[in-house]
Chains A and B, each alone.
Chain A
Amino acid sequence: MKNYLMTYKKDFIIIAAFAIFAATYNFYTPAFGSTVLSNFESAFFEMIAFIPLMFILIGLFEVWVPRELIERHIGTESGARGSVWVILLAMLQVGPLYGAFPVAFLLWRKGASTRNIFIYLGAFTTMKIPMLSFEIGFLGWRFSLMRTLLSLPVFIIIAVIMEKLFERDFEIYEINKGK
Chain B
Amino acid sequence: MKWIVNNRMNAIYIIIAAFLFLLPFVYESRNMLILLTQIFVFAILAMSYDLLLGFTGIVSFGHAMFFGIGAYSIGIFMKRLEPTMLHFIYAVLATILITAIVSFIVGLLTLRLKSHFYAMLTMALAGLFLVLAEKWRTLTFGNDGFTFRVPELFIDRTNFYIICLVSMIAVFMILKRFTNSPLGRVLQAIRENEQRTESLGYQVLHYKIAASVVSGVLAGIAGIFYAMSLRYVNTSVFAMDITLDALLMTIIGGVGTLVGAIIGAGLIEFAHDGLTELAKEHWIFERWIIFFGIIYILVVIFFPLGIVGTLRKFTWIRKKQHPAKKKENLAG
* A joins B in a complex: no
